Amino acid sequence: MGVARGDERGTTERVLTLLGLLQQRQVWTGPELAARLGVTPRTVRRDVGRLRTLGYPVHASQGVGGGYQLGPGQNLPPLLLDDEEAIATAVSLLAGAGGGVAGAGDAALRALTKLDQVLPGRLRHEVRALSGSVESFGGGRPPVDPEVLMTLARACRDGVEAGFDYPTGSEARRRVEPYRLVASDRCWYLLAFDLDRDGWRSFRVDRMTEVSARTWRFRPRAAPDAATYVQEGVASRAYPHQARFLVHAPADTVRAKIPASAAVVRRRGSERCEVLSGAGSLDFVLIHMLLLGHDFTVLDPPELGGRCRALAERLLSAGGAISPVPDTEQP
């Protein structure tokens, strides 16, 4: 039996070598392949048959200039990666799908699509399930450890508790029910139900350490929309002051001027939108709204109207205090 397993390994390695040769140049003759592999032309024909069985379209032609050629084929064969390698590659591509390098996000998404095409059925299902655990708003975030993303994405998919150290409060260790990974324009976040604090929380993935998934399954709760919850937390709830405005401009126009992590922009018809933002002071929020260059109305909080009037008076006073400089230049 040991010899049979050794022969099988030798055959597999030879077939993979043959595949590599066929990918290196357009046409090989049978004798050329036999010489490179150290086998007979008959063995080459058998190995070509094995590749065809696996789904590789190897064409054979006779005459001058003929030989073996690897065709493009419509049905791509299984990818030669083991399960862990394939899943790690997919999650790495997910991590790079919103990278800061220009064009890298689109390239990662195209590569992920190609990976999905060539994965065996069992792995394709798993990778798509992992992809379903990821949402996003914005783009251009820095990379994070793919192993951490993979662990959290699997925990979201499988509905099992996760644990990690998180540097906030007196208790660093957090025990959560993970629901979704959310990619913002700056960071990756995990939306989870914090079991020790009995409430929904969002956690920055880059701040997590000692991340692990447990085998304890939980019953899914009615969860908020992940991307909306995290974006509102990043742009508003994280600050001591929050404000809402009705901006008299289309939502797409306003979104182009405000980073997704700085404000939530909601469409209110074709020519108006609502902006939710937060900051350390209400004056800071007002200044940023003024810099948008569009008319707006304060919705919340009520005291913000008074701050608007006070700021307007200060601006008018500053403008009125400027005296024209006399022209002393001689003609």
- 50 and 94 housed in the same domain: no
Report the chain's mean pLDDT, rounded to a whole number. Answer: 76
Quick one: average pLDDT of 141-170?
79
Quick one: average pLDDT of 288-302?
84
- 56 and 87 housed in the same domain: no
- 120 and 178 housed in the same domain: yes
Domain end (from 227, 250, 282): 227
* 28 HSE (CA, 13 A, CB side): 23
| pTM: predicted TM-score of the whole model, two decimal places | 0.52
Structure confidence at residue 114 (pLDDT):
62
Quick one: average pLDDT of 27-33?
90
Give the structural domain span for 290.
Answer: 239-318
Q: Is residue 75 part of a domain?
A: no
Give the C-alpha separation, 90 to 84, whole Å.
Answer: 10
Quick one: average pLDDT of 159-180?
86
Q: Is residue 105 part of a domain?
A: yes
The bridge status of strand 173-183 relative to strand 134-136 is parallel
Domain end (from 70, 101, 128): 70
* 108 three-class SS: helix
Tens digit of pLDDT for each residue in 32-44?
Answer: 999 999 999 999 9
- 96 and 144 housed in the same domain: yes
Domain end (from 227, 248, 264): 227
- 8 and 138 housed in the same domain: no
- 223 and 301 housed in the same domain: no
Q: What is the CATH number of the domain that holds 279?
A: 3.30.70.250
- 218 and 255 housed in the same domain: no
Give the C-alpha separation, 288 to 280, whole Å.
Answer: 13
Q: Is residue 233 part of a domain?
A: no
pLDDT at residue 4 above 50? no
- 99 and 216 housed in the same domain: yes
Q: Is residue 324 part of a domain?
A: no
Please tell me which residue, 107 or 154, carries the higher pLDDT value: 154
pLDDT at residue 25 above 80? no
Q: What is the CATH number of the domain that holds 57?
A: 1.10.10.10
Q: Which helix (H) or strand (E) holds 85?
A: helix 83-96
Quick one: average pLDDT of 263-282?
84
pLDDT at residue 164 above 90? yes
Total structural domains in the chain? 3
Tens digit of pLDDT for each residue in 204-220?
Answer: 888 888 999 988 889 98
- 136 and 215 housed in the same domain: yes
pLDDT at residue 65 above 60? yes
- 103 and 55 housed in the same domain: no
Structure confidence at residue 99 (pLDDT):
46
Q: Is residue 33 part of a domain?
A: yes
Structure confidence at residue 115 (pLDDT):
67
Q: At CA 296, angle to CA 292 and CA 299, rounded to 5?
A: 125
